[in-house]
Amino acid sequence: MKLLIDDARIATIERLCEVFPIAGVTTNPTILAKIGGNPFDVLKEIRELIGEEADLHVQAVSRRAEDIVAEANHIVKILGANTFVKIPALPEGFKAMKTLLETSEILVTATAVYTPMQAFIAGQCGAAYVAPYVNRIDNMGFDGVRVTKEIKEIFSANAMETEIIAASFKNAQQVLELCKCGVGAVTLAPELFYASVKNSAINSAVDDFIADFESFAGADKTMLDFQ
């Protein structure tokens, strides 16, 4: 299961990439609005930072299929290989996905997925990934993790190669539930990367080990001080 960052702030992405095993970055228009300016300025910077092998997901914003296809070609031309074009899983989006499948090798992530049927259709239209919005589904009174698991079952039952990139998480438990069943990828807001390891019991255990070591070796001593 790949781990991606759902953010576009360069310094934040850089810090996370130093610490965590990051496979790529996802963006959406709301995330880009927080940066402003020419969206390709920041997207090119992200591409340079994460490298050409990493996954970068960028959303097309046109409403008509023909325009979505043109946008998809434009995005990939500028940002290169391993750029996934996010296309909403709506009728015009499905039409665009089918066209892209027939006319190009552009990788598509079907986005704004709230129902298993959207995911099934997008997969049949050739989407490489579908992105169920786990927390937003929870907020509608349904179970986002369960919907995501159903999508996984549907893909498996129909021998479909489409993967799931689960998005919109608000807590580590939602992520953990999907780790257990192994979806293709999850994309997380920066704070969620730290949420699962930010725990006073963990810090206290590590502090105790260091104090025990220093009790016989001396203050600030480490294994480097011994042969």
Positions annotated as catalytic residues are 86
Q: Which residues of 13-51 are buried (b: 16+ CB within 10 A; e: fewer)?
A: beebbeeeebbbbbbbeebbeebeeebeebbeebbeebe
Closest approach, Cβ 44 to ligand G3P, in A, equals 20
What token pair was written down for 124? 């049949």
The answer to whether 168 contacts ligand G3P (rule: CB under 6 A) is yes
Of the residues 94, 129, 133, 155, which one makes contact with ligand G3P according to CB under 6 A: 133
Helix (H, G, I), strand (E, B) or coil at 63: coil
Q: Which residues of 148-187 are buried (b: 16+ CB within 10 A; e: fewer)?
A: bbbbbebbeeeebebbbbbbbbbebebbebbeeeebbbbb
Which residue's CB is nearer to ligand G3P, number 122 or number 167?
167
Which residue's CB is nearer to ligand G3P, number 173 or number 222?
173
Q: Select the span of 122-130, 133-141, 174-182, 208-216 touching ligand G3P (CB under 6 A).
A: 133-141
Which residue's CB is nearer to ligand G3P, number 82 or number 111?
111
Q: Select the span of 38-46, 128-136, 171-179, 208-216 touching ligand G3P (CB under 6 A).
A: 128-136
Residue in this structure with the two tokens 């990934």, named with its chain if needed: 129
Write the CA distances from 33 to 19, 126, 203, 226, integer angstroms: 26, 29, 36, 53
The answer to whether 135 contacts ligand G3P (rule: CB under 6 A) is yes
The answer to whether 166 contacts ligand G3P (rule: CB under 6 A) is no
Q: Select the span of 102-110, 129-137, 149-157, 178-186 touching ligand G3P (CB under 6 A).
A: 129-137
The answer to whether 167 contacts ligand G3P (rule: CB under 6 A) is yes
Phi/psi-derived region of residue 106, left when phi > 0, alpha when psi is between -120 and 50, beta in every other case: beta
The answer to whether 6 contacts ligand G3P (rule: CB under 6 A) is yes
The answer to whether 28 contacts ligand G3P (rule: CB under 6 A) is yes
Q: Which residues bind ligand G3P (CB under 6 A)?
A: 6, 28, 133, 135-136, 167-168
